[in-house]
Structure 1
Amino acid sequence: MADENSKATESIIDEPTSGDRLTDAIDSMRSSVTAFTFDGDRSSHDHQSGTPERRELVLGDNDPRDASLSERVLSEDVAWTGKIFNVDRLQVELPDGRKATRDVVRHPGAVAVVALTDDGRICLVRQYRTALGRVTVEIPAGKLDPGEDPLSCAARELLEETGLKAQKMAFLTTIATSCGFADELIHIYMATGLEQAASDPDVDEFINVDLVELPEFIDAVLDGKIEDAKTVVGALICDAVSHRLAPQEQ
């Protein structure tokens, strides 16, 4: 009987308590948070940023000094797979030889369209954005299909979201939306010679369309009333182009 009681006692002692399980869960959460946010050992780093130099503009990777900034990818694994994008976890070697973790959103890319009517109005779409919990005002835009040409995608998205067909489509610029953690590129086009047809939004897209006078739109951007990045960039480029094309005062 003594042996049986001893075994029962050992069994009770070996079984983790609720407190132990809570501690283990907290430790696991801390490890996960550290893995997502820790970029390497900062306790003894001894490097500084380069001294500011007065010089002409040199684009990225075109400066000989840029070679000393590059990181070498040691490994890359898919940490999460989603409907629109994936999140990959990269282990990299820093310029000083230390190791760091980079979480990168892998996105297929997108297009956006600054659509101008003949009477100087810009086409804006109104959509509810769940990430922000409210309706935003944006220029028409959409994700690239695999292997799709951006110009064709721009024409397709403009028609699907607004029902507008463009006689002319001109490339404006490409922006990296959040290069600190995502590889998404948005190609922005200007559409003119617009004709109204039938819209055909995606099954989960519910959109209202506005045609707003360009100066009013530009003022709203400059006043900080429009926060969508591609829309802000599109507006400012459109404004700059219109000024360059306007006859110069004598």
Structure 2
Amino acid sequence: MSSPKDADRDDEGASPLAGALRSVRDSALAFTYDGDRSSQDHVSGKPQRRDLVLGDEDPRDAALTERVDTEQVEWRGKIFDVDRLRVTLPDGRPAIRDVVRHPGAVAIVALTEDGRICLVRQYRAALGRVTVEIPAGKLSPGEDPLDCASRELLEETGFRARNIAFLTTIATSAGFADELIHIYMATDLSLDHSSPDADEFINVDLVSLPEFVDAVLDGRIEDAKTVIGALICDAVSRRLAPDAETASE
């Protein structure tokens, strides 16, 4: 006959408390190499003056790679999951990486005919306040990012775009998440009816491009995708400026 204490044990014969303690120890181990430098015995590669070489295109990058030994889902959420990876570091030591698995998203820099940028105002529970951002949304499984950009722009702002062009893709938090956001520019806009998700409450602003860029450069807008969108707009406008001047002569 099993005792009450036995009833508290899990399928592997260890108590839930013991399992929790193991999880805490594992989590502490995952951060050992960030905080405890007592056994650190390697240095970074020497700085080199060179042309730009992207990741995994330098032969030396092979010596930086971590081998993933196991991966399991620790938590499933509505928008993303959290996986725990047990890896082997380049020097052979084990480590743990907790990684957010996200399906990806799109963001849209929507430019009106009179040079205004479409921005959405939305309460963000993670920050506890309203933020000002470019329209964006999560990719559905198997959805083409271009189709998603058109859908999200219409749902959040009510605008349809006759022209949508790809700008860039950003990794939002490469240190712990695999989320990629594909950023597009939308032009030749016409206003239709918005249809935000049931849990989305949004106000829409149309702001001049110079004011938008200045707000980013002054640090008054901190949302990453919005910052990138503004800087790309600024860079493109500056590159086009000499051509515009030449055409006017």
Aligned to 1:234: 229
User: Does 1:127 find its partner at 2:103?
Assistant: no
User: Does 1:78 find its partner at 2:82?
Assistant: no
Aligned to 2:47: 52
Instruction: In structure 1, give the amino acid aligned to 2:126.
Output: A
User: Does 1:174 find its partner at 2:196?
Assistant: no
User: Does 1:89 find its partner at 2:84?
Assistant: yes
The 1:208/1:62 distance shift into structure 2, 3 A limit, reads same
Percent identity, aligned pairs only?
A: 73
User: Does 1:37 find its partner at 2:31?
Assistant: yes
Contact persistence 2:87–2:95 (CA under 8 A): yes
Correspondent of 1:148 among 143, 150, 153:
143
Q: 1:66 is paired with a residue of what secondary structure? A: helix
Alpha-carbon distance, 1:238 to partner: 0.9
Alpha-carbon distance, 1:26 to partner: 10
Kindly name which structure, 1 or 2, has the bigger radius of gyration based on alpha carbons.
1
Correspondent of 1:206 among 201, 204, 224:
201
Runs of 4+ in 1 over 4 A off after TM superposition: 23-30, 39-42
1:34-88: per-residue Cα shift (whole Å, max 9, x none)?
1553458743231100010111100000001001000100000001110000000
User: Does 1:114 find its partner at 2:97?
Assistant: no
Alpha-carbon distance, 1:32 to partner: 6.2
1:186-241: per-residue Cα shift (whole Å, max 9, x none)?
00000000000000000000000000000000000000100000000000001111
Q: Extract unaligned runs of 5+ from structure 2.
A: 1-16
Alpha-carbon distance, 1:244 to partner: 1.6
1:4-46: per-residue Cα shift (whole Å, max 9, x none)?
xxxxxxxxxxxxxxxxxxx989967853651553458743231
Q: 1:246 is paired with a residue of what secondary structure? A: helix
Q: 1:204 is paired with a residue of what secondary structure? A: coil
Q: CA RMSD in A?
A: 2.1
User: Take 1:82 and 1:233, find their aligned partners in 2: how far apart are those partners?
Assistant: 27
The 1:244/1:44 distance shift into structure 2, 3 A limit, reads same
Contact persistence 2:73–2:84 (CA under 8 A): yes
Deviates more, 1:238-247 or 1:98-107: 238-247
The 1:163/1:100 distance shift into structure 2, 3 A limit, reads same
> What is the number of residues matched between the two proteins?
228
The 1:203/1:26 distance shift into structure 2, 3 A limit, reads closer
Contact persistence 2:105–2:138 (CA under 8 A): yes
Instruction: In structure 2, give the amino acid aligned to 1:235.
Output: A
User: Take 1:241 and 1:32, find their aligned partners in 2: how far apart are those partners?
Assistant: 47
TM-score by length of 2: 0.86
